[in-house]
């Protein structure tokens, strides 16, 4: 993924391509491992320019609002972030909280009767269990 492509992606969503915002977006695209805000903060600050914590959070929320990034809430843990590429679902590990991508399935839509006056934006499928690292240790919990 080259610099201009990221720049165009940001600007296509009405976001200025600042060095800090670029760094956040590029990191998310290059590391599809669903990092936390703290991990992104550390990672982008290993390079220049330095970003403050507030900037990381500001930019993440701009990117989420623009629909370029997804925020994944995990019970009892910091939120994870995920550049939206191909459609996919998530697997969340009960033990370590890590989030992994799962292939996409079409999801059953609720009957419009059961939606009432609600406005549906999206459906998301979450698989839960033990990830590859944690499964072998299952017994030792």
**Cα atoms found within 13 Å of the Cα of residue 85, Cβ hemisphere only:** 15
- Range in contact with a second copy (rule: CB under 8 A) among 4-12, 22-30, 38-46, 124-132: 124-132
Task: For tokens 């936390």, name the residue.
Answer: 36
> Can residue 36 be called a binding residue for DNA (CB under 7 A)?
yes
Q: How far is the CB of 33 from DNA (least distance, A)?
A: 16
Total length of the chain: 141
Q: Which of 33, 52, 110, 132 binds DNA (CB under 7 A)?
A: 52
Give the distance from CA 24 to its chain's centroid. 12
Distance CA 52, CA 57 (A): 9
Task: For tokens 């499964």, name the residue.
Answer: 135
Site for a second copy in 10-69 (CB under 8 A): none
Q: Which of 6, 15, 92, 93 binds DNA (CB under 7 A)?
A: 15
Q: Which does 54 bind (CB under 5 to 8 A by kind): a second copy, DNA, none?
A: DNA
> Can residue 18 be called a binding residue for DNA (CB under 7 A)?
yes
């Amino acid at each position: 993924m080259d610099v201009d492509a990221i720049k165009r992606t940001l600007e296509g969503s009405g976001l200025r391509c600042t060095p800090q915002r670029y760094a956040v977006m590029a990191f998310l695209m290059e590391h599809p491992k669903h990092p936390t805000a703290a991990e992104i903060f550390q990672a982008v600050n290993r390079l220049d320019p330095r970003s403050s914590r507030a900037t990381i959070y500001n930019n993440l929320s701009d990117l989420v609002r623009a629909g370029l990034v997804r925020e994944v809430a995990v019970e009892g843990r910091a939120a994870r972030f995920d550049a939206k590429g191909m459609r996919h679902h998530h697997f969340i590990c009960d033990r370590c909280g890590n989030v992994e991508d799962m292939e996409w399935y079409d999801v059953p839509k609720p009957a419009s009767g059961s939606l009432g006056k609600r406005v549906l934006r999206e459906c998301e499928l979450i698989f839960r269990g033990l990830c590859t690292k944690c499964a072998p240790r299952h017994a030792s919990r």
